């Protein structure tokens, strides 16, 4: 049984405490299907998130099977299912692949046969067996809602929370989803709470909870809704609510709550007696005659119950005792990691636009660099060992040597920085949207038991493959058309490090930002400032240079690569660049520090809840 006692959730705005849920009290028995309705902004979703543990209650207590969730911890991931308003599946995957991934992330299966059996049962239960090979992107709205339910049912939750799962559907699809939720509530005593703005199909619910400005205005049988609010049709309930303050509705409800709770109890007894609700732990009344069919309370029932309302008791009935079933165990780290990595590669290869973009970048960027490589391969003349007798000839020789140095040094420095900036751009493209674009799905999977460590490790493994391929291909391709005039291995290592640094930094940005657009914009700015703030083109003022340089990955990769050049070429670069260069070891350590700090920030962002 689920029980709420004076539960409130408040936020602070302009220095004032504003209650979004205010002193909500109710109890919901096993096998119960309840609708949570009310005008827009009345706190329906907030109440659902408070029950789920996503919003910590500001006051009051929540109990589940006699356990105080406020003190003894929230629901275990396998006990609860939460179906949000948004889609929780990836468009490129099929229905079967989506359910399989959800199962592998939430339930530890002893064998492949057990895994397949669980998937098949869920697909059949939600009516998706016939379309299990369709991609999510071609599903209708109703089919996507069924898929969302299927992905939650893989762990066989004992309480299922649904947030506006019927919104935007046509009347037929809406009724099918409500009927499906009704049937799910009849299985193994599962509680199903459904937030909905619609007042259609209320006859399929066991009870209706009406909220008004965060307060409970009614909780009782759906057939009593119009009677309680003195209206002719359920569509008139919302306008009726607006005629009085929420505090007045709440106080009125406090006077009648016991009466309507008795109605709910009687309806439940009739349902159990008729066999319409099967809960193993609850015994139906023994009788030699046929059990009465479940029906709505009669007028005499209502009068009798209202007469009994004088004897009030706020204490709910004792929770139903039931032997605890075996709780599905969560998969281990490596199981979740392999599932996530496999799914990420599958999504990558099915996104033709992303594959084409990566191939275009991989081919075009190195070609752009090679277009300028000829200037960097020119010879640098040396000074003559013998002194020229003609002063004019000696001056000409010095000017010629310096001209060669300036030409080659500028070309070499520019090509190295061009490579570094292009790889920084690749790194930004790799990961700027990697987490932010799937944040809602990730938060939902984390709520279902996904380990942030497994999630982040799968992202690092996937992005590492891109970084290694891009960096080494850039280094080898450019080297084929113009040999690097120094230690090629060290140069390739710095290209690898700058790509890795920018990829992890943008991954951290992606994990910390709330939207993919914010993450992309910030990452673009970050890459855009790499070149001017590096000091490789124009030397910055010392005060600015000392402040910005530690944070510019492009400078450290460029500086390390310049230090790996041959002595003559190195001197040529130094002759045209008026800036100090750091040693290779310092460059290695600094880029490594950039990667380390970025991974820590990405971990912090992945662990921090960011529900809308």
- Is 95 inside a domain boundary? no
Q: Is residue 271 part of a domain?
A: yes
137, part of any domain: no
568 belongs to a structural domain: yes
* Nearest of 284, 271, 590, 611 to residue 441 by alpha carbon: 611
Per-10-residue mean pLDDT for the chain, 612 residues long?
92 86 92 94 93 91 88 86 89 96 94 93 94 94 93 94 90 92 89 92 94 94 94 92 92 91 92 81 44 43 44 40 60 96 97 94 91 70 54 59 67 85 94 94 94 97 97 91 84 95 96 93 89 70 76 90 82 72 89 96 94 74
Tell me: do 274 and 371 sit in the same domain. Answer: no
3-state secondary structure of 42: coil
CATH of the domain at 61: 3.40.50.300
In DSSP terms, which residues pair with 2 in a beta bridge? 28, 64
- Within 8 A by CB and 6+ apart from 432, the residues are 506, 509, 510, 516, 519, 520, 523, 524
- What domain range is 507 assigned to? 333-607
In a domain, 103, yes or no: no
- Please, what is the Cα angle at 559 between 558 and 565, to 5 degrees? 90
Do residues 387 and 275 both lie within one domain? no
CA-nearest of 374, 587, 409, 570 to 496 is: 587
What is the spatial distance between Cα 333 and Cα 415, in angstroms, rounded to a whole number?
43
Query: 502 and 402, same structural domain?
Result: yes
How confident is the model at residue 319, as a pLDDT? 42
Three-class SS state of 329: coil
Domain total of the chain? 2
Q: Are residues 271 and 383 in the same domain?
A: no
Asked if residue 360 and residue 302 are part of one domain, the reply reads no
- Are both 299 and 337 inside the same structural domain? no
- Domain membership flag for residue 530: yes
Sheet holding 2-13: strands in order across?
A: 16-28, 2-13, 59-64, 67-68
Could you give the count of Cα atoms lying within 13 Å of 47 in the half-sphere of its Cβ?
32
pLDDT at site 308: 44
Q: How would you class 290 by CB atoms within 10 Å of its CB: exposed for 0-12, middle for 13-18, buried for 19 or more?
A: exposed
**Other CB atoms within 10 Å distance of the CB of residue 384:** 12
User: H or E stretch including 462?
Assistant: helix 452-481
Give all strands (DSSP E) within 259-388, no chain letters.
none
Give pLDDT, residue 481. 82
Instruction: Please report, for the chain, how many H helices and E strands are present, in that order.
Output: 23, 10
Same domain, 363 and 301: no
Same domain, residue pair 339 and 239: no
The confidence score (pLDDT) of residue 537 equals 64
Residues 372 and 239 in one domain: no
**pLDDT score at 309:** 41
Q: Is 212 helix (H, G, I), strand (E, B) or coil?
A: strand
Q: What is the DSSP string of 170-181?
A: -HHHHHHHHHHH
Q: What is the pTM of this model?
A: 0.86
Please tell me whether residues 384 and 487 are part of one structural domain.
yes
Q: What is the pLDDT of residue 528?
A: 85
Q: Assess whether 209 and 252 both reside in one domain.
A: yes
Nearest to 261 by CA among 26, 44, 60, 30: 26
| CA neighbor of 98 nearest in space, from 414, 343, 407 | 343
Q: Is residue 84 part of a domain?
A: no
> What is the phi/psi pair of residue 594, to 5°?
-60, -45
User: In this structure, is residue 94 part of a structural domain?
Assistant: no
Please count the residues of the chain.
612
> Which runs of consecutive H residues, i.e. helices, occur in 513-552?
516-528, 530-534, 542-548
Q: How far apart (Å, rounded) are the C-alpha atoms in residues 497 and 471?
A: 9
pLDDT of residue 85: 83
355 and 440 belong to one structural domain:
yes
Q: How many CA atoms lie within 13 A of 490 on its CB side?
A: 18
Please list the alpha-helical segments (H only) found in 160-235: 171-185, 225-229
């Amino acid at each position: 049984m689920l029980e709420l006692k004076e539960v409130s959730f408040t936020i602070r705005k302009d220095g004032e405490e504003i209650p979004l849920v205010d002193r909500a009290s109710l109890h919901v028995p096993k096998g119960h299907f309840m609708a949570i309705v009310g005008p827009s902004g009345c706190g329906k979703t907030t109440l659902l998130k408070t029950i789920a543990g996503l919003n910590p209650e500001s006051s009051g207590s929540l109990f589940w099977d006699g356990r105080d969730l406020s003190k003894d911890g929230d629901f275990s991931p396998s006990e609860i299912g939460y179906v949000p308003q948004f889609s929780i599946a990836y468009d490129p995957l099929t229905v079967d692949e989506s359910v399989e991934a959800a199962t592998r992330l939430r339930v530890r299966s002893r064998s492949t046969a057990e895994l397949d059996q669980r998937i098949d049962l869920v697909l059949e239960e939600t009516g998706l067996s016939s379309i299990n090979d369709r991609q999510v992107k071609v599903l209708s709205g109703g089919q996507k809602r069924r898929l969302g339910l299927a992905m939650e049912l893989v762990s066989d939750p004992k309480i299922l929370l649904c947030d506006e799962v019927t919104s935007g559907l046509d009347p037929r699809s809406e009724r099918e989803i409500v009927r499906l939720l009704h049937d799910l509530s009849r299985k193994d005593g599962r509680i199903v709470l459904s937030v909905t703005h619609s007042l259609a199909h209320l006859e399929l619910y066991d009870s209706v909870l009406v909220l008004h400005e965060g307060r409970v205005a009614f909780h009782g049988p759906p057939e009593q809704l119009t009677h309680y609010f003195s209206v002719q049709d359920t569509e008139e309930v919302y306008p009726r609510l607006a005629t009085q303050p929420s505090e007045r509705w709440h106080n009125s409800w406090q006077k009648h709550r016991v009466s309507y709770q008795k109605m709910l109890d009687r309806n439940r007894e009739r349902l159990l007696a008729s066999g319409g609700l099967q809960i193993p732990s609850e015994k139906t009344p023994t009788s030699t005659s046929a059990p009465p069919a479940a029906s709505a309370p009669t007028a005499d029932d209502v009068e009798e119950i209202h007469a009994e309302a004088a004897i009030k008791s706020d204490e709910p009935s004792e929770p139903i005792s039931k032997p605890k079933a075996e709780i599905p165990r969560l998969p281990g780290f490596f199981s979740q990691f392999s599932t996530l990595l496999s799914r990420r590669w599958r999504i990558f290869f099915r996104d033709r636009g992303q594959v084409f973009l990566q191939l275009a970048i991989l081919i075009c960027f190195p070609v752009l660099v090679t277009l300028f490589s000829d200037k960097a391969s020119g010879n640098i003349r040396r000074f003559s060992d013998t002194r020229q007798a003609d002063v004019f000839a000696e001056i000409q020789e010095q000017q010629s040597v310096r001209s060669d140095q300036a030409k080659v040094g500028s070309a070499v420095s520019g090509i190295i920085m061009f490579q570094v900036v292009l790889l920084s751009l690749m790194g930004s493209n790799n990961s700027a949207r990697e987490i932010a674009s799937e944040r809602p799905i990730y938060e939902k999977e984390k709520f279902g038991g996904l380990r942030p460590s497994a999630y982040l490790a799968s992202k690092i493994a996937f992005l590492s493959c891109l970084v290694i391929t891009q960096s080494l291909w850039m280094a080898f391709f450019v080297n084929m058309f113009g040999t690097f005039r120094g230690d090629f291995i060290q140069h390739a290592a710095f290209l690898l490090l700058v790509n890795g640094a920018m990829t992890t930094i943008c991954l951290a940005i992606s994990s910390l930002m709330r939207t993919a657009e914010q993450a992309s914009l910030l990452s673009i700015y970050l890459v855009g400032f790499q070149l001017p703030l590096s000091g490789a083109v124009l030397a910055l003022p010392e005060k600015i240079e000392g402040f910005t340089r530690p944070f510019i990955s492009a400078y450290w990769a460029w500086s390390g690569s310049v230090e790996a050049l041959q002595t003559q070429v190195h001197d040529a670069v130094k002759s045209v660049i008026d800036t100090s260069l750091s040693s290779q070891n310092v460059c290695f350590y600094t880029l490594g520090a950039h990667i380390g700090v970025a991974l820590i920030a990405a971990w912090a962002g992945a662990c921090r809840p960011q529900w809308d």
